[in-house]
Amino acid sequence: MTKTKNNENKAILPEPTIRRLPWYLSYVRMLDNLHVEYVSSTQISKELNVQSSQIAKDLSFLNIRGKTRIGYEVHSLVTELEDFLGFNRHHDAVVIGTGSLGTALMQDHGLEHYGLNIVAGFDVRQDVIGQRMGGILVHDIKDLAAWQREHGVSIAILTVPVERAQETADLVIASGMTAIWNFTPYRIKAPDDVVIANTSIYAHLAIIYNRMHNTSVGNNRQ
């Protein structure tokens, strides 16, 4: 993983801010492609349904400030957001558990546009070990620690069956990896210096099902 020179200056942002930044980025990337030069927070606000005061506050965390009556310079905003979010640097990762979701992620080249480069897969199943998925070699999970000592990759994408989530996370952490992107619905326990990000796509399904049966009653957004 490439380190940025500015790490030491980078504050821990409130998570809602980090979640909104990629929305701003998508929108200003579009404007940049259309060769739009400036954008106001009012315009971003209208487009994304986020209050303009919130946008100004979020961007001020990055030391980005608009000019009075002109707004933000689109191209620099794209660059600064990409740089801040880490999307323009390469981050190597491994997929642990090459079932349907794991394989799907190994084949999703969209992740590369956000700086994530999957370099290996790991599994317990003898019939997939040694095979390639989306061009990426699947290794025996038993070799994880040795492989990690050689390659020094920090991020593990966890897509094992839920009942294997904790024990596999323990293996990953013991191998020296420091970040787990957890796609299982299991709440992994890990030491404080290990980063855990939970992407519970199934929880979102529950939200859809629940809201679909209740759209007449009220709030339908998440």
Query: What residues between 18 and 77 interact with its own copies by CB under 8 A?
Result: 18-19, 21-23, 25-27, 29-30, 33, 47-50
Closest separation in Å from C-beta 136 to its own copies: 13
Whether residue 208 contacts residue 222, with contact meaning beta carbons closer than 8 Å, is answered with no
* Residues in 112-131 that interact with its own copies by CB under 8 A: 114-116
Phi and psi torsions of 58, nearest 5°: -60, -45
The nearer residue to its own copies, 146 or 207, going by C-beta atoms, is 207
Closest separation in Å from C-beta 192 to its own copies: 6
The nearer residue to its own copies, 67 or 202, going by C-beta atoms, is 202
Closest separation in Å from C-beta 116 to its own copies: 6
The nearer residue to its own copies, 68 or 100, going by C-beta atoms, is 100
The nearer residue to its own copies, 18 or 145, going by C-beta atoms, is 18
* Nearest alpha-carbon partner for 94 in 166, 159, 161: 159
Judged by CB under 8 A, which of 57, 60, 90, 108 binds its own copies?
A: 108
Closest separation in Å from C-beta 145 to its own copies: 20
Whether residue 118 contacts residue 106, with contact meaning beta carbons closer than 8 Å, is answered with yes
Phi and psi torsions of 64, nearest 5°: -100, 125
Closest separation in Å from C-beta 171 to its own copies: 18
Contacts (Cβ under 8 Å, ≥6 apart) of 100: none
* Nearest alpha-carbon partner for 56 in 17, 12, 30, 6: 17
The nearer residue to its own copies, 68 or 215, going by C-beta atoms, is 215
Compute the chain's Rg from CA coordinates.
Answer: 20
- How far is Cα 96 from Cα 99, in angstroms, rounded to an integer? 9
* Residues in 151-180 that interact with its own copies by CB under 8 A: 154-155, 162-163, 178-179
Judged by CB under 8 A, which of 52, 79, 104, 140 binds its own copies?
A: 104
Burial state string for 179-196 with b = 16 or more CB within 10 A and e = fewer than 16: bbbbbbebebebeeebee
The nearer residue to its own copies, 69 or 212, going by C-beta atoms, is 212
Handedness of CA 125, 131, 135, 138 (dihedral sign): positive
